[in-house]
Amino acid sequence: MPGTEKGLGEAEIVELERKLGYSFKDKGLLKRALIHRSFAFEKETGENYEVLEFLGDAVIGLIVSEELINKYPDKSEGELSQIRAYLVSETVLSELARDIDLGKYLLLGRGERKTGGREKSSILCDVFESVFGAIYLDSNFETAKEVFKKNFLKRMWDILDRAVTYKDFKSFLQEVTQKEYKVIPDYILIKSEGPEHDKTFFVECRVKEIKTVGVGKSKKGAEQEAAKEMLKALGVIDDTADKR
């Protein structure tokens, strides 16, 4: 069985290389990229994936930054930073790891195996980064970038297209209404209540004939709430957005 305490066999290495679309010159780098610290502790060896993870984090960050600039040439530095932060997050990278069943090949200690370490998003994110750190060391940045683009870029864009969490609701709503209805939402301050130092604002959002209301302790906050309610009214998001 791949990823057991006995280590990885040649067949499993070849299988994972095929999924990655990259054949390692130094197979030891790939094996090291799959060693969790719990396994290293049990085997009394200091070799684990953490240094490769550190390197892979930088490699993936640079790849994603470059692709974002190409995809969104008109977005500001702040907007690009916000999107990049989401794309290199545990949420997204663990999904990319699951796409190739990366957890199957992990070398975990007994405790991590018993507690479902192969499916933990935090571990999957880390090992995905470590694998790209290993690819970089085994080749170069351009090769690592090509491997990512060929095997993971389209999936990453698909995740981004479905995401709400990286965006503020006003920006997301404007993207939706421009694309679907060819209009921009209107925001109207209905009223404010309370003393000057502790006001509550009520803002109405309008998209065509649809109206929603948001309440907040600032006008911007009320606009965000109104935009969120409009996204719900349009059927774009559901109540799970309240848990973001």
Positions marked active-site:
57, 129
Q: Which of 67, 68, 37 is nearest to 52 (CA)?
A: 37
The two tokens of residue 213 are 């209301």
Q: Which of 61, 38, 57, 56 is nearest to 48 (CA)?
A: 38
Neighbours of 198 (CB within 10 A): 8
Neighbours of 99 (CB within 10 A): 13
Q: Which of 32, 24, 29 is nearest to 7 (CA)?
A: 32
Helix, strand or coil for residue 153?
helix
Tell me the C-alpha distance between 25 and 40, whole Å: 23
For the chain, the distance separating the N- and C-terminal CA atoms, rounded to the nearest angstrom, is 38
Helix count and strand count (H, E) for the chain: 12, 3
Tell me the C-alpha distance between 238 and 231, whole Å: 8
189 forms bridges with which residues in the sheet? 203
Kindly report the backbone phi and psi dihedral angles of residue 210, in degrees, each rounded to the nearest multiple of 5, phi listed first: -90, 135
Q: What type of residue sits at position 219?
A: K
Q: What type of residue sits at position 28?
A: G
